[in-house]
Structure 1
Amino acid sequence: MTTVDVFNHGMPAESDFGYAQAIKSGDLIHVSGQLSVDEAGEFRHPDDFAAQLELTHANFDKVLRHYGATRNQIVSQTLYVVNLRHHARAVSEGNLAYFGDHRPVSTVLGVTELTFPGQVIETSFIVDTKLPA
């Protein structure tokens, strides 16, 4: 029998919109798009790519900690980036800094807009807890 473990940050949007931040089913954790929001669910750092990416990764790290997982167990990421050509180098540098020597598969999509005015990045992940931490 497969067990399901749902994780939320406790933000109003989770219940208002009706979604979970992450769901672990079996050995896989599927993580919703993480973005630059604080503990109250308020969007932070409009138009500041580096600051948004840092807070986005910090929010994702909370998900990993909840499940006792590490970055080395991330198998896939999907990034949505406004003005991708302008931010391409920052995306690469952010990935290298966050993942170190680990290399998950990655899809980067340039988009015209995201949920909040000034939001320039959102990223989702799949984590395999059977991989070595």
Structure 2
Amino acid sequence: MTTRPQDARRITTDPDPFDPFNIALGYRLGDLVITSGQAAIDEQGEIVGAGDFDAQAEQTFANLRRVLAAAGSSLDKVVKVTIYLTDMTNFPKIVELRAKHFSRPWPADTIVEVRSLALPELMIEIEAMALVEGDVVE
């Protein structure tokens, strides 16, 4: 089977912590990567940092980095993120995390407070869109 530019390729890792939930980690469509929401779940499907926002945020960014790498991309090629928080008082920490994990030009961003995420212990989830080829420029 020949892959055409418009074909979407499912992003996989080994192990794939999302597979038991019947969810794809994301898809690569040409030079665009679209991820599912990443949260503080380790490679074995266990929650990291229950009750600790900082630990959960670091695991979430590590997971996002891992999925992007599996698709041939990286955090410096992210053009859009949507960040879901269960407590908007963590917003100042998000600003710091964005400065730590992203660089200029900053990705477009939507931050939403939600009542809960997929599992009750989760406090943050991030979904992203990123480039594979080319650079993000101002």
Same fold (TM over 0.5): yes
Q: Deviations over 1:12-34 (max 9, x none)?
A: 542x3322101001111110000
- 2:69 alignment partner in structure 1: 65
User: Does 2:106 align with 1:99?
Assistant: no
- 1:82 alignment partner in structure 2: 86
User: Does 2:53 align with 1:52?
Assistant: no
User: Does 2:35 align with 1:31?
Assistant: yes
How does the TM-score come out when normalised to structure 1?
0.89
Give the Cα separation in 1 of the matches to 2:102 and 2:117: 24
8 Å contact kept, 1:72–1:102 = no
The structure carrying a bigger strand percent of its residues is: 1
Give the paired residue count. Answer: 131
8 Å contact kept, 2:32–2:130 = yes
Q: CA deviation at 1:41?
A: 0.8
How does the TM-score come out when normalised to structure 2?
0.86
% identical aligned pairs? 27
CA RMSD of aligned residues (A): 1.7
Any stretches of 5+ residues in structure 1 without a counterpart?
Answer: none
8 Å contact kept, 2:86–2:116 = yes
